Amino acid sequence: MEVAAQREDTHYSLGSVLSHVLLHQTVIGQEALQQMALADAYPDFVVGCVGGGPTSPVSLPFVGQNITKGKKTRCIAVEPTACPSMTRGAYAFDYGDTAKLTPLVKMDTLGHDFVPPGIHAGGLRYHGMRALVSHAYHLGLVEAQSVAQTDVFTAGVGFARSEGIIPAPESAHAIARYGSWPRSATVR
């Protein structure tokens, strides 16, 4: 961003926190709805990690089903306790970046000048939450919970050992909150 701002021939465009990015990412949730229909099943809850970036779009089609079809799926957003924009932030207008180059966006925010602890390495380090996810949260359509980084890494290791799949730290937030891996796994 800093380089783009200094060049005449380059422009900076923030995408992650802005709602238009959700449009293409919700395809995952639309596919999940189709797979549920093929399996003749429907989830009681959908859990996803959240931050400013490309996280938790899978739940939005389920939120839509709750609104339009009367479904009762719980949509749960899990964020890090180190960057708790939904569970501890203010619902206010803020900039989407620290340089204040974006338009003001109404979102759950810890303030555009928020800097997470230097030791926080589990992803989801952003100061705010997507506007659409924040709005859904404040309408009561989405629940928010937070999880500690050490629990995230323990869950990721346990999940990898039991399932043979190494999750990204961001995805491990959801696994830490609701996963069914062997809880005795430890990070070594």
Residue 5, SS3 per DSSP:
helix
Whether 16 has a pLDDT exceeding 70, the answer reads no
Global confidence as pTM: 0.82
**pLDDT tens digit string along 109-165?**
999 998 887 776 666 777 888 888 899 999 999 999 999 988 999 999 999 999 999
Beta strands in the chain (DSSP E): 45-49, 74-80, 90-95, 104-109, 143-147
Assign 15 a pLDDT band (cuts: 50, 70, 90): low
Dist CA 51 CA 124 (whole Å): 5
**pLDDT tens digit string along 166-184?**
998 888 888 998 776 555 4
Q: What is the pLDDT of residue 1?
A: 59
Q: Pairing relation of β-strands 74-80 and 143-147? A: parallel
Higher pLDDT, 23 or 140: 140
Residue 72 sits at φ, ψ, to 5 deg, of: -125, 30
Assign 10 a pLDDT band (cuts: 50, 70, 90): confident
**pLDDT tens digit string along 42-94?**
999 998 888 765 556 678 899 999 999 999 999 998 988 988 999 999 999 99
Residue whose C-alpha is closest to residue 126's, from 139, 141, 110, 142: 110
For the chain, domains (ranges, CATH) are 14-178 (3.40.50.1100)
| Structure token pair of residue 25 | 């990412």
Dist CA 177 CA 31 (whole Å): 23
